[in-house]
Amino acid sequence: MIGPVFISAAVLLLAVFSAWKPHGAYFGPSTPTLHHGTTADAYAFAVSIPNSRVIPISTNEVYSSMGSNIALGDLVIAVPRSYTGLHRWDIALRTGIFGAHLVVHRLTRLTHDGWITEGDANLAPDPLMGPAMYQGFVITDTFRP
């Protein structure tokens, strides 16, 4: 017979591990597919997707906040998708805190006020992303020239 203490411990472990994200490593439903190719290849791919944008990941940064999934110098493709159509672990294109730059981060939690995003290699989440900060859904094809 399984006692209530064992069941409580199992539920607690399940809750902890379902919220846990190993630092710098995420391999879930939105892990990018890496294509080795030129910048022209990325644009040629994007042309086949209506209203898409090619977003270069800045090489001026010290490290990639998305870890090895999306590295410095990679090109990602963002497409229009309704803010209400987003799901946990999707990768989104959002404006930064002051709106001066774009950020590509994963959606980690939905609150009453909006999405919380975080880079796969970051230890802390970003400030809340409301609908006005959302710029597009990043498809799971990444180009590394």
Is 68 inside any structural domain? yes
State the pLDDT at residue 31.
Answer: 61
Determine the structural domain holding residue 28 and report its residue range: 24-144
Is 18 inside any structural domain? no
State the pLDDT at residue 9.
Answer: 36
Identify the CATH number of the domain in which residue 120 sits. Answer: 2.10.109.10
Tokens of 32: 């990018």
Is 137 inside any structural domain? yes
Is 7 inside any structural domain? no
Is 42 inside any structural domain? yes
Is 89 inside any structural domain? yes
Q: How many domains does the chain have?
A: 1
Beta strand 134-144 with 75-79 is antiparallel
pTM: 0.72
Tokens of 49: 């997707």
Between CA 69 and CA 72, with CA 70 as vertex, the angle to 5 degrees is: 135
- The 8-class DSSP code of residue 14 comes to H
Is 14 inside any structural domain? no
Is 16 inside any structural domain? no
With a cut of 70, list the residues of the chain below it in pLDDT: 1-32, 59-60
